[in-house]
């Protein structure tokens, strides 16, 4: 067939037909990732934030992203249910989704039952007892022992053992590393120490926030967000990835070490030497801490008051009002953002941000920090 022109054309068309799916796959991976287990910003953003993809992307991959978004909705519901009974720490919904993305991208969307089984790999159930007061018929009170069940998050090493059993094959080091990269991409910086610009470190004497400092304790508003983050700066808050304003105890640090062995473990010695006993937050945790602040008790209650547990990038993409940094209005309480990091503008050209593990919560100048966008934080009143 190769000896005549018609034969060569026929073979050429047949080869093109057979190889076109492979060619599209190679082009897609070259443009949007470096292998089947690695997915770059474009694909992760599309799955987590609903970002638009070029029309040139094959329909098969668009379907995979849609299925991943459907799976995320089921995983979020399962995680919320587990966290309602959690004790001694809560499951991180973004981490659950990042691990699922790494292991299951390209699979069909799971059923609700399958999503529940996936989340089951991240925790264990324990039966505990506690003393409760019971009022008798005669009006007297009696202390009785009550049995109850709680869910306790597992160290990631145990999680991956469970996931290996769940899918019937061992989770590889490459898949684990990919999950960490995806999580960091969504949540923001792990808190490194590469910044070499000017900043004002926080104070050394903690000043506990009280309700009298807030302008309107009944709402979540921009003015009180500024009060909150400024108090965190004045009080010398530290930085630990995955925290949102709690006092860093040895138990909480150990939990974060097992939850984020890469993001926290690298800085364990520094954290123990500098941040134990202090309030700590990561960049978006500084904002979520205000969102979750219950002003009647002045406690930070995870996942409350309408603010979900989301990362810096998710917070940016969820914002309905945002723009390039060059268009930013001079409004204290706006957030400033660059890929993977977020801070709070407090006015007078200054920003309070949880910069990184080696810095903690600091004050910087708006200009010169590389912020690319501003946004009105969802769930905060800017009226």
- List phi, psi (to 5°) of 88: 75, 30
Q: What pLDDT score was predicted for residue 35? A: 37
Q: What pLDDT score was predicted for residue 102? A: 93
- List phi, psi (to 5°) of 198: -85, 140
96 close to 179: Cβ distance less than 8 angstroms: no
Please name which of 134, 127, 179, 190 lies closest in space to residue 156, comparing C-alpha atoms: 179
pLDDT (tens, 9 = 90+) of the chain, 383 residues, equals 556 666 666 666 656 556 555 554 444 444 443 433 344 667 887 888 876 666 766 777 788 888 999 999 999 999 988 888 887 678 888 899 999 999 998 888 889 999 999 999 999 988 888 888 888 888 888 888 888 888 888 999 999 999 999 999 999 999 998 998 888 888 765 565 556 678 999 888 788 999 999 999 999 999 999 999 999 999 999 999 999 999 999 999 999 998 888 779 889 999 999 999 999 999 999 999 999 999 999 999 998 999 988 888 889 988 999 999 999 999 999 999 998 899 999 999 999 999 999 999 999 999 989 999 999 999 999 98
Task: Using the structure block, give the residue that is written with the tokens 């506990």.
Answer: 208
Q: What pLDDT score was predicted for residue 58? A: 75
- How does 12-22 read in b/e, with b if 16+ C-beta sit within 10 Å? eeeeeeeeeee
């Amino acid at each position: 067939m190769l000896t005549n022109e018609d034969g060569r054309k026929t073979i050429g068309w047949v080869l093109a037909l057979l190889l076109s799916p492979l060619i599209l796959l190679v082009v897609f991976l070259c443009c949007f990732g470096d292998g089947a287990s690695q997915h770059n910003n474009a694909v992760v953003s599309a799955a987590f934030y609903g970002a638009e993809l070029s029309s040139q992307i094959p329909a098969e991959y668009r379907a995979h992203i849609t299925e991943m978004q459907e799976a995320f909705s089921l995983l979020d519901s399962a995680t919320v249910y587990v966290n309602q009974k959690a004790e001694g720490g809560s499951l991180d919904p973004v981490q659950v989704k990042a691990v699922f993305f790494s292991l299951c991208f390209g699979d069909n969307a799971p059923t609700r039952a399958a999503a529940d089984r996936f989340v089951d790999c991240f925790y264990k159930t324990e039966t505990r007892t506690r003393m409760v007061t019971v009022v008798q018929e005669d009006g007297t009170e009696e202390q009785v022992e009550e049995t109850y069940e709680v869910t306790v998050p597992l160290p990631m090493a145990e999680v991956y053992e469970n996931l290996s059993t769940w899918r019937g094959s061992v989770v590889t080091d490459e898949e684990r590393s990919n999950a960490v990269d995806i999580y960091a991409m969504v949540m923001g910086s792990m808190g490194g120490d590469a910044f070499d610009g000017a900043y004002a470190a926080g104070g050394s004497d903690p000043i506990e926030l009280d309700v009298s400092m807030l302008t309107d304790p009944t709402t979540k508003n921009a003015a009180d967000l500024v009060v909150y983050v400024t108090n965190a700066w004045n009080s010398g808050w530290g930085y630990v990835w995955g925290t949102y304003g709690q006092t860093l105890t040895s138990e909480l640090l150990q939990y974060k070490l097992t939850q984020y062995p890469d993001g926290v473990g690298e800085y364990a010695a520094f954290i123990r030497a500098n941040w134990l006993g202090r309030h700590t937050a990561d960049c978006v945790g500084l904002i979520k801490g205000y969102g979750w602040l219950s002003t009647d008790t002045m406690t930070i209650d995870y996942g409350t008051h309408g603010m979900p547990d989301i990362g810096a990038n998710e917070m940016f993409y969820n914002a309905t009002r945002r723009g390039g940094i060059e268009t930013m209005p001079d409004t204290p309480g706006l957030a400033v953002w660059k890929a993977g990091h977020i801070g709070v503008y407090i006015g007078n050209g200054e920003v309070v941000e949880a910069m990184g593990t080696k810095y903690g919560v600091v004050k910087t100048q708006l200009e010169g920090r590389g912020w690319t966008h501003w946004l009105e934080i969802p769930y905060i009143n800017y009226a």
